[in-house]
Chains A and B, each alone.
Chain A
Amino acid sequence: MKKIEVIQNILEANETIAKRNQQLLDKHKVFALNIMSAPGAGKTSLILQTLTMLKGKLNVAVIEGDVASTVDAEKVQSEATAVVQINTRNMPESCSLMAAMIESALEDMPLDNIDLLLIENVGNLICPSEFTLGEHKRVVISSLPEGDDKPIKYPLIFSDADAVIINKMDLLPYVDFDITTFRHSVEGLNPKAKIFKLSCKTDEGIERWCSWILAQVKSNVTKQ
């Protein structure tokens, strides 16, 4: 019997494809956001609001990741330049999108006509934090009914986020969610994360969120 030294990152296969995705997106000047949250936090609602607000300013495409169904793709269809639905139920993994799924979705997209790609990940706060997709920035949504303790319960996903959104602000009078506690937890884990308070129901905060996107898209294009 002999021992062989290996020391190889098991996630490398995914990371290699993710890098390739980002190179392809950069070549076509597409800025991509990976939007992650627990189920029901408002990923689709945020995408819909973003599409409405950015209409006429950017051409936006959407990749919808769900375990099953096309309901989300149908909702965004009329507003987006292109929509691809990925059903992870037919994939080797169902709990998160992975770089290889994005790679094949990009083949079906008119990349030259797209400025912004919104990738809606599968509703889950654990698995998606392990798999990069080739996105430029990572966005995590927490909504008030989930409670203010999510960053301390799921620190990885919040540690890597570029933007953290507190959604359903309209429910603040009805739920025990301490904004300061939440904010401190996020800032402790990740001082770089930009925090947005908004409500997809009332439009509060959507404009500020979309201005951030516009600035990101602009700086990404200039960078290249």
Chain B
Amino acid sequence: MLDQMHEFGITENIVNIALAKANEAQASKVIQINLVIGEMSGFIPDCIQFYFDSMSKDTIAQGAILHFELVPTQLRCRHCSTIFQPQDTLWSCPKCRSQSIELSKGRELHIESMEVE
């Protein structure tokens, strides 16, 4: 277990949550897990998929498809409340030019739903 990225622990959580929910629903197989991941979150879908394939082995989630809904970054101006998407690396409001900006969407990381049988 050398030099594993933080997707390792995250994937472990995904497998645990998926198995618990499948168990509650008395399912015999997990077909698909629908995940919501913000563009700004530091998690890489390919990396999660890689760990998932090995961690879900010999469980009812083995072979399940991970479907990632990527949430684009959405910003909000603290001065005039304009909601906008960043156009470049410098975050400034397209309406009032203020650089006082907060992230309103893009940090998500949750399991939305699952398909089971």
Decide: A3 near B113, CB < 8 A? Known: A8-B17, A126-B42, A188-B100. Answer: yes
Among A150-194, those with CB < 8 Å from B are 152-153, 155-156, 159, 184-185, 187-189, 191
Is the CB–CB distance between B90 and A98 below 8 Å? no
Looking at the complex, which one of A5, A10, A94, A156 makes contact with B40 (CB distance below 8 Å)? A156
Is the CB–CB distance between B5 and A155 below 8 Å? no
Secondary structure type dominating chain A contacts? mixed
Is the CB–CB distance between B6 and A130 below 8 Å? yes
Q: Mark interface residues in B3-15 (1 if CB within 8 Å of A CB, else 0).
A: 1111011101110
Is the CB–CB distance between B111 and A8 below 8 Å? yes
Q: How far is the CA of A59 from the CA of B9 in the complex (A)?
A: 33
Is the CB–CB distance between B3 and A94 below 8 Å? yes
Is A129 interfacial (CB-CB < 8 Å)?
A: yes
Is the CB–CB distance between A188 and B91 below 8 Å? yes
Q: How far is the CA of A174 from the CA of B40 in the complex (A)?
A: 33
CB distance from B39 to the nearest CB of A (A): 11
Decide: A3 near B115, CB < 8 A? Known: A9-B110, A14-B9, A155-B40. Answer: yes
Is the CB–CB distance between B114 and A93 below 8 Å? no
CB distance from A183 to the nearest CB of B (A): 11
Is B87 interfacial (CB-CB < 8 Å)?
A: no
Is B31 interfacial (CB-CB < 8 Å)?
A: yes
Q: B16 to chain A: which residues have CB within 8 Å?
A: 13
Q: Mark interface residues in A1-19 (1 if CB within 8 Å of B CB, else 0).
A: 1111111111111100000
Q: How far is the CA of A12 from the CA of B4 in the complex (A)?
A: 20
Q: How far is the CA of A95 from the CA of B27 in the complex (A)?
A: 35
Looking at the complex, which one of B21, B41, B91 makes contact with A130 (CB distance below 8 Å)? B41
Q: A12 to chain B: which residues have CB within 8 Å?
A: 13
Q: How far is the CA of A10 from the CA of B90 in the complex (A)?
A: 30
**Which of B13, B16, B117 lies at the interface centre, i.e. has the most chain A CB atoms within 10 A of its CB?**
B13
13 A-B residue contacts at CB 8 Å? Answer: A1-B117, A2-B25, A3-B113, A4-B21, A6-B21, A9-B110, A10-B10, A10-B14, A13-B13, A93-B9, A130-B6, A153-B89, A155-B40
